[in-house]
Structure 1
Amino acid sequence: MNKRTVLLILFVLIFFTLILSLVSSTHRPSLELFSDLLKLQTFSHSTTPNDQDNLSEKPSDREDEFVYPTYTDHLLNTSNFHYSGACRQIFRYKQSTSRDLWLTAFSFDTTQKWLSIKSQAERAFSIAKSGIPNASKHVLLLTPPNDDFMNTMKLFNVSVDVVDYGLEKTNGAVMRFFAARNWITEHRKEYDRIIFSDFKDVFIFADAFKTFSNDDFVVLMECWAFNNTDSCWKLDDKTNRRWITDTFGEAVGDAYANNKTLLSNAGIVFGGTEKVLKYFEIVTHNMKREKYGLWGHDQAVHNYVLNTLQLDSLNLTKDYCTQRVCFGEAWSTIWDPQTGAIFTKETGCSPVIRHKIWFDNYKHYYG
């Protein structure tokens, strides 16, 4: 092999080596390109709705999705309620768990009294079972139980404590405040948030616990239309004025009536456990032993502590008539008989909690 041949072979080897190097570099991303791809992937990940703009978030750490209720009856189908889009914005807190509690109280002197309201109670508890399936549910029974009551509560996964605090000359509406105060004091470490309500006519259609935090405390004003204080009852109402006067005297009753002070309903309060417990401590402290037997004493004291600003330290919110809660949305509720949905005409959004409802031009009372 002569010198020219050797040089030619070396030239060919060098040429092919250069070609292979160029081809390889063309198909291998540079560090800068790889970094840019990571940035693009991260940006796309951060903009998905489920990630809440949290780049470090793992799927298992994501806030729980809103879960649609499933309750249906001859009038309603809650799976068709309007909770999407802007109507979802109210659900901005943690989904309910077993550390959240719906607490209520009940008493009956005779089996007949229980049977007379049983169907209403079953409806309220069926709706709650659908709306807050993961929350704990508990009844404080202020009188001895019977088998039918206990079996009915068991059907709805509701636990029952039979309580007797030995209050003489009282009624169940007043006694429940002492029962709730004492029971929550004993169980305060077991729950983060509490809804306390009347037994048979408060309807929790969807996860109400997702609408407030541990730091909140909410009372309900007695109003009849969305965002309309002209629809709210006032303490010049004959019945409530009498309750105030019977408890605190004519001067207080007249002052509230003359000032057209808005009425709050004692049938539901909710908030963080410590806030709710403090509320019951304040109310029971203001109750008068000689008035325990008066019907309406609980509502009179509830309004008194509210209007004397004793609840302001609890991070108080007064809900007049909102998507979250309304006393009796008679003036602004729309019912769609085709879908079974109810919603507020001004917003198109369906309710979360309602105490009483009239709809379809007052043909149907739901309460």
Structure 2
Amino acid sequence: MRLILIFRDFSLVFVLVTVILFYFWPVYQTIEDRSLLTRKVISKFSNTRYDVNNFNYTGDCGKVFRYLSNNNRDVILGSLEYKTLCQGRVFWTAIKMARQAVPKARFVILIQKGYPSYCEGDMNIMRELGVELVFFDKKFQGDMSSLRFFHYLDYLKQHINNIDRVVLMDVRDVFFFGDFFMTFSTNEMSFVRECRSDTDPSLCYGPATFSTHGVWLEKFFGGEVRKQFEEQKLPAVNGGFMFGGVEKVIQMLEIFESFVDKRKMKWGYDQALFNVLYYNGTFNSIGAEASDCTQRFCYLGDSFRTVQKTILMGKSDCSPVATHKLRLNDIGWEMT
């Protein structure tokens, strides 16, 4: 009788293990970091290079956190267009960091319909990580780098009554270390410039220092506009990260949409248009601002220092809250 009971127990365990492997194994094989399948957030993010548990947000370094903590009325909104490749390691790192830094905020990714069937594992993993997936058809032809803002606007208008604050971002390479929502209010509408250092304000990408920005301006707005940007050495406003109160963000997107020339919806057009509209004052009506490399947010972070797996700003012992891409020069490592 005892042998029969043991056999029955073993059979149940075998069936259970088989079901779990059948369901999760295809997903498990698609990523390097197996811990991404963890359902619950039990600690802040860490890897071999840095440990967010050690980051310095104490004393004066905590003054950046002035507003309400992340909650279910806060939304991170991004988009994905699948062509041939499924998502890679940096993407999954960014997603996991966001879910651990702002676990109560909603994370919504708009995904163009028709993704490759072999990337179904990506969808399963994102759902496991608490990401809401919204599938859509393109509203019209054009590069998704520009089209995404039309779909962002549609989504926010549909859900405005359930949202207070929103972050629009490139989901593949924005990294959250702390509670970014605690750094801004519903009254704000902010862009960030591609400035890479908090110690040297001249270290910024723009038409005068990064030719691609100039090429885009000339291609879509003419050589004279490019020349003006280069002569004034204007830093580029980044199209991959912007944030604010939902009403402000909707107003910003409506302004952007009203100036879009649908015949120009190519790669780089969104970035060029945002820069023209910001620097000619079009966004002044909604009080939009743009910041350089600060503790709250920095592009790349060329001035960052690492001390015992803690990332610090260049001119203080405070840790950054978020970055678009990440470069740690002192240890020769980056995620871009």
Q: Same fold (TM over 0.5)?
A: yes
Post-superposition shift, 1:360? 4.4
Q: 1:335 is aligned with what amino acid?
A: T
Confirm or deny: 8 A CA contact 1:142 1:172 kept in the other structure: no
Q: Specify the alignment match of 1:71 in structure 2.
A: 45
Q: How far apart, in 1, do the equivalents of 2:214 and 2:331 lie?
A: 27
Could you say what secondary structure the match of 1:229 adopts?
Answer: coil
Q: State the shift of 1:227 in Å.
A: 5.2
| Deviation of 1:253 (Å) | 1.6
For residue 127 of structure 2, what is the amino acid of its counterpart? K
Structure 1: distance between partners of 2:91 and 2:83: 17
2:333 matched residue in structure 1: 364
Letter in 1 for 2:97: I
SS of the equivalent of 2:88 reads: helix
Which one of the candidate residues 235, 242, 246 is aligned to 1:269?
Answer: 242
- In structure 1, give the amino acid aligned to 2:335: Y
Which amino acid letter does the alignment assign opposite residue 71 of structure 2? T
Query: Which letter does structure 1 place at the counterpart of 2:170?
Result: D
AA aligned to 1:144 is: G
**2:110 matches 1:137:** no
Residue 311 of structure 1 aligns to a residue in which SS?
Answer: helix
Match of 1:100 among 61, 74, 77: 74
Q: Is 1:69–1:206's contact at 8 Å kept on the other side of the alignment?
A: no
RMSD: 1.7
TM-superposition CA deviations, 1:264-294 (whole Å, max 9, x none): 11110000001111111111222211111x2
Give the CA deviation at 1:259.
2.1
Give 2:261's aligned residue: 288
How far apart, in 1, do the equivalents of 2:172 and 2:283 lie?
26
The 2-side partners of 1:285 and 1:143 are apart by 26
Counterpart position of 2:280: 308
Deviations 1:180-202 (A, max 9, x none): 11111111111000011002100
Structure (1 or 2) with the larger CA radius of gyration: 1
Of residues 180, 185, 188 in structure 2, which corresponds to 1:213?
A: 185
CA drift of 1:362 comes to: 5.6
Q: Residues 195 and 299 of structure 2 are in contact (CA less than 8 Å); yes or no, is this contact kept in structure 1? A: yes
What letter is aligned with 2:50?
A: L
Deviations for 1:60-118, whole angstroms, at most 9, x for unmatched residues?
Answer: xxxxxxxx9611112121010001111100001011100000111110122xx12xx33
8 Å Cα contact 2:77-2:166 kept in structure 1: yes
Taking the aligned partners of 1:81 and 1:251, their CA distance within structure 2 comes to 45
Structure 2 distance, partners of 1:286, 1:334, is 41
Looking at structure 1, the residues matched to 325 and 196 of structure 2 have their Cα atoms a distance apart, in angstroms, of 9
SS in 2 for 1:230: coil
What displacement does 1:350 show?
0.5
Stretches of structure 2 lacking an aligned partner (at least 5 in a row): 1-41
Which residue is equivalent to 2:304?
333
- Please tell me the residue identity of whatever aligns with 2:67: Y
Cα contact 2:199–2:314 (8 A) shared by 1: no
User: In structure 2, what is the Cα distance between the partners aligned to 1:255 and 1:87?
Assistant: 38
1:92–1:211 CA contact under 8 A, matched in 2: yes
| 1:69–1:205 CA contact under 8 A, matched in 2 | no
C-alpha distance in 2 between matches for 1:181 and 1:228: 36
Question: Which of 289, 292, 311 is the matching residue for 1:320?
Answer: 292
Q: SS at the partner of 1:102?
A: strand
- TM-score, normalised with respect to structure 2: 0.83
- Match of residue 135, structure 2, among 147, 158, 162: 162
2:4 paired residue number: none
Quick one: distance in 1 between partners of 2:139 and 2:105? 30
- The corresponding residue for 1:224 is 196
SS in 2 for 1:301: helix
Q: Is the 8 A contact 1:105 1:139 kept in 2?
A: yes
Correspondence for 1:85: 59
Residue 164 of structure 1: CA displacement?
1.4
TM-score for both structures, normalised by structure 1: 0.76
Q: Which runs of 4+ in 1 moved over 3 A?
A: none
Cα offset for 1:143? 3.4
